[in-house]
Amino acid sequence: MINTTSLGDLENVKNLDNHGFNIGISARYDFNKEFFANPELYYTHVGNGSLDLPILFGYQLSESIAIVAGPNFSYAFSENSEDDLIEISTGVLTDTYSMGNISSKLTFGYQAGLQFFLSNFVISAKYNGSFTGQVVDLINQTTGGELKEEIKTSYVSIGIGYNFGK
């Protein structure tokens, strides 16, 4: 996975060195030969850990290629925002701002990508974007004022799965 993150209005942060992994299960429900639903449930670790539930819908372009897209619900496990998020926000947090608490853990986003079928193996390439993000308290060290910023994380994932049903 390649991770990019934005931190509200302060500055866009892109950290292509931040990578991670995910592991989980998925199912496929065929509506007909072309259209299908592909719900998934997995643990993702890109800077911090989360439980992701994408509900993808797909269109079979050929016998070996499908396009998928749909909503993604994500729940972050972290209790300590500073330890988990300081790495992805390097360059934004300065002597002026320090990070406080995370006020929200549930985020809503989307996934879109391609699936390639090779025998019983599924190779996927997907983009995961955010509509909502984790709300973080930032404290201005000079004035003592507080503001809330929304951290939206997006990433590209490339995965390999095995289809036990074939």
Dump pLDDT digits (tens) for 25-73: 999 999 999 999 999 999 987 666 788 999 999 999 999 999 999 999 9
151: tokens are: 């951290």
DSSP summary character for residue 149? E
| H-run or E-run covering 161 | strand 146-162
Q: Please tell me the pTM assigned to this model.
A: 0.72
CA distance 68 to 124: 10
pLDDT tens sequence across 109-120: 999 999 999 999
* Domain count for the chain: 1
The amino acid present at 144, given as its one-letter code, is G
CATH of the domain at 21: 2.40.160
Range of the domain at 101: 2-25+34-162
